[in-house]
Structure 1
Amino acid sequence: MVAGETSGDLLASLLLDGLHARWPQARSMGIGGAQMQQRGFQAWWQSERLAVHGYSLEVLQRVAELLGIRKQLRERLIAHPPSVFVGVDAPDFNLGLEERLRAAGIKTVHFVCPSIWAWRANRVEKIRRSADHVLCIFPFEPELLARHGIDATYVGHPLAQVIPLHPDRAAARRRLGLDEDGLVLALLPGSRRSEVRYIASGFFKAAALVRKALPAIKIVVPAVPSLYDEVCRIAAEAGMQDQALIVKGQSHDVLAACDCTLIASGTATLEAALYKRPMVISYSMHPWSWRLMKRKQLQPWVGLPNILCGDFVVPELLQDAATPQALAAAALHWLRASQDSPATIEALVERFTALHHELRRDTAELAAHAIEKIIASPAA
């Protein structure tokens, strides 16, 4: 298996639960993170080695390193073929690897359909060459892939099973040492170092403006442990080091506890939706990367909650629009609605609850069953 970044580590760990339930003696190895390793995964490299962002100079500088890792892994797997290779997300890394492994007779599964419905539609040909089967986390994806001759199974979104339908806000606040009453604003500036560098400063500056309007509000930031010092440094530069509670990890507790979140576009926005929380979705990157990504966008929405609902149910403030003033104003809209317009919040909760039911499946079992059929099928 290969899983990149924090979100991939989580998805892969849930998949491992299903595989171990079906095959208790199964061994897994490759590239993974802490949650996978807690389930007995042998990590030859850590997931965070694959965490890169956009088309920046940082990515270009790391191309040789990433290609070297992929070459070593490919040669090792071809020399000692596994029963199946599962690439978890990280399509830029995994699809090329899967294509070479499949050509060598190793069965390949790609877990999480690349967002060909959002951008990079040309990637569908690469998927067809690379994967014997795709495990899809959104219900509309298998039909889309079938049009291109790609076998796929909808397995639901693992997070929809992990996150409770009715989150316990009071318990989450107790675990974080927060009062049960009062407003809480969460800042989630991303899980990659380059994301944090581009996004966190604007979030902290926006939070400072929110505090001027609502002095009693609590600001909580769940930092990826490896980026904790970086987040603290950026908070200090924004003059917010003493006004924000920065914790290591605990993003689910923070989302359960908050009244609203400023949040970087990505998987975390879906987590916020499953916690039924109002949010302001934002993203910033190097201008060159932004121009390239913008040209490839196929839908009017960027955030997963909006894409899945087919509407701007929550605001998106991207790149130049993501000013501290605009972010603060959008957050204040939700925070004031929670006090003065509960019907507005309840309508959002109902929308996100319906989405939760749609995505809630026994992902681990469905995925393990699909993988079992691939292992048992004749080689392509």
Structure 2
Amino acid sequence: MKKIFISVLDSSAELYISRVSFFIDKKTVIYSTSPKIRRSEKVLDITDLSTVGLPDFRRVFFRIIFLLRFIGEIKPDKFVFCDSPDLHIPVGIIVKSLLGEKVKNIYFIPPTVWAWRKHRKEIVEKFFDRVIFIFPFEKDIWTKNGVYVGHPLCKIIKEENIYSDYGIQIRGSDLPSHKGVICFLPGSRYSEVKNHLNLLISLGREMRDYVFLVPTRFSPLIEICRGDFSLKVVPQELSRFAMRISDFVISASGTATLESALIGKPTVVFYKLPYLSFELAKRMIEKDIRFISLPNIILGEEVFPELIQEDATAEKIINALNFVKEKNFESVSKKLFEKLEFFDFLDIAKIIDDV
């Protein structure tokens, strides 16, 4: 019986691959790093290492060690690595170097070599047998062993309904009826949330007529901000439902910006990094990259205002909100659905089965 190991850390990639795993050949035994992959015979949980306060390079190192030990124990025939290239590229290289053609490496949602660290393209093509990518502009990049499948969010968002239990759960909670609602998305990583806390506090104090809904898996960190403005923390998996019931979205750059665009919500994008990290990032990003948010990159125009570093202030974000509230984002949503048209989770499973 064939054995497959699925390694995923990013929450968005976890959502996608959990849907895919349902359609993988039933004769295949699945091992994974995600409890959401319900067919998993055994799960290695490596998420705890994301909150212990270790520097990034040490967290990656320990995760690599944990993964390699687990791989040695289960001895899979096939690997599916999802996103998180700092972790998965080294593991993929080690596995392929040691086992060669005895195993097959698949990369689902490959590194963003179109934005930075172009050298990774050659590495991925050398050590991974198949690359499954989700953005149409990547067709010119992954020409050797790539397969385009469209973006899974298109299917997921179409299937979701504002009147689901999740939506009712948020709407029926203690949100003041006399206030507007802003969905504030500080990022999916601990470091991002920490960097954006002061901005949340400043916005809350300036916009007292609004409740700030904050979807996150780091609720104790957000609770620090609780004080003289209205704040409600909800689980990160409810983020899209929080967006749907909000008047506006204020989001750190990331997958959340694409979610809000597909939903059709007026959104302002921001991002802040420590000074040295920002200066380093500037030197690594490709010169032809004009935007930081996915909707703007995909459509090639600024549909969402972007405020970075010293421009990411409460005053400038409020001004940008006044601008976006006058725009119609239903047309933006329609364009994105057309550009990112998704095949099906079954199709991705077939690609994995056939490698």
Q: 175-184 or 251-260: which moved more? A: 175-184
Equivalent position of 2:322 in the other structure: 332
**TM-score normalised by the chain length of structure 1:** 0.81
Shift in alpha-carbon separation, 1:259–1:268, aligned structure 2, 3 A:
same
Distance, in Å, in 1 between the alignment partners of 2:178 and 2:166 is 12
Deviation at 1:370, TM superposition (A): 1.2
Percent of aligned pairs with the same amino acid = 26
Does residue 135 in structure 1 map to residue 136 in structure 2?
no
Distance, in Å, in 1 between the alignment partners of 2:32 and 2:159 is 33
1:35 aligned partner, one-letter code: K
Equivalent position of 2:26 in the other structure: 24
Q: Which of 166, 175, 188 matches 2:169?
A: 175
Q: Which of 257, 262, 267 matches 1:274?
A: 262
Equivalent position of 1:340 in the other structure: none
Equivalent position of 1:356 in the other structure: 337
Q: 155-164 or 137-146: which moved more? A: 137-146
Deviations 1:238-268 (A, max 9, x none): x33xx12222331121011112111011111
Distance, in Å, in 2 between the alignment partners of 1:135 and 1:290 is 30
Shift in alpha-carbon separation, 1:127–1:109, aligned structure 2, 3 A:
same
Deviation at 1:100, TM superposition (A): 1.7
Alignment of 1:52-71 (within 5 A): 61-71=55-65
**Secondary structure, in 3 states, of the residue corresponding to 2:234?**
strand
Instruction: State whether residues 270 and 305 of structure 1, in contact with CA within 8 Å, keep that contact through their aligned partners in structure 2.
Output: yes
Q: Which of 292, 296, 301 matches 2:284?
A: 296
Equivalent position of 1:194 in the other structure: 191
Equivalent position of 1:259 in the other structure: 247
Shift in alpha-carbon separation, 1:132–1:310, aligned structure 2, 3 A:
same
1:15 aligned partner, one-letter code: V
Deviation at 1:62, TM superposition (A): 4.9
Does residue 45 in structure 1 map to residue 32 in structure 2?
no
Instruction: State whether residues 142 and 151 of structure 1, in contact with CA within 8 Å, keep that contact through their aligned partners in structure 2.
Output: no
Deviations 1:93-125 (A, max 9, x none): 101111121221221001102111112222212
Does residue 244 in structure 1 map to residue 249 in structure 2?
no
Deviations 1:216-251 (A, max 9, x none): x33222222xx1111111233xx33xx122223311
Shift in alpha-carbon separation, 1:203–1:169, aligned structure 2, 3 A:
farther
Instruction: State whether residues 261 and 280 of structure 1, in contact with CA within 8 Å, keep that contact through their aligned partners in structure 2.
Output: yes
Instruction: State whether residues 202 and 323 of structure 1, in contact with CA within 8 Å, keep that contact through their aligned partners in structure 2.
Output: yes
Instruction: State whether residues 80 and 105 of structure 2, in contact with CA within 8 Å, keep that contact through their aligned partners in structure 1.
Output: yes
Instruction: State whether residues 5 and 50 of structure 1, in contact with CA within 8 Å, keep that contact through their aligned partners in structure 2.
Output: no
Deviation at 1:133, TM superposition (A): 0.8
Does residue 320 in structure 1 map to residue 328 in structure 2?
no
**TM-score normalised by the chain length of structure 2:** 0.87
Equivalent position of 1:368 in the other structure: 349
Instruction: State whether residues 183 and 259 of structure 1, in contact with CA within 8 Å, keep that contact through their aligned partners in structure 2.
Output: yes
Deviation at 1:161, TM superposition (A): 0.6
Instruction: State whether residues 169 and 256 of structure 1, in contact with CA within 8 Å, keep that contact through their aligned partners in structure 2.
Output: no
Equivalent position of 1:218 in the other structure: 211
Deviation at 1:173, TM superposition (A): 5.7
**Secondary structure, in 3 states, of the residue corresponding to 1:45?**
coil
Equivalent position of 1:119 in the other structure: 116
Instruction: State whether residues 133 and 146 of structure 2, in contact with CA within 8 Å, keep that contact through their aligned partners in structure 1.
Output: yes
Equivalent position of 2:3 in the other structure: none
Deviation at 1:75, TM superposition (A): 4.8
**Secondary structure, in 3 states, of the residue corresponding to 1:234?**
coil
Distance, in Å, in 1 between the alignment partners of 2:268 and 2:51 is 24
**Secondary structure, in 3 states, of the residue corresponding to 1:218?**
strand
Instruction: State whether residues 7 and 33 of structure 2, in contact with CA within 8 Å, keep that contact through their aligned partners in structure 1.
Output: yes
Instruction: State whether residues 176 and 211 of structure 2, in contact with CA within 8 Å, keep that contact through their aligned partners in structure 1.
Output: no
Equivalent position of 2:182 in the other structure: 185
Structure 1 spans left out of the alignment, 5+ residues:
53-57, 338-343, 375-380
Distance, in Å, in 1 between the alignment partners of 2:74 and 2:40 is 19
**Secondary structure, in 3 states, of the residue corresponding to 2:28?**
coil
Number of aligned residue pairs = 341
Does residue 204 in structure 1 map to residue 201 in structure 2?
yes
Distance, in Å, in 1 between the alignment partners of 2:41 and 2:150 is 23
Instruction: State whether residues 184 and 219 of structure 1, in contact with CA within 8 Å, keep that contact through their aligned partners in structure 2.
Output: yes
Structure 2 spans left out of the alignment, 5+ residues:
1-5
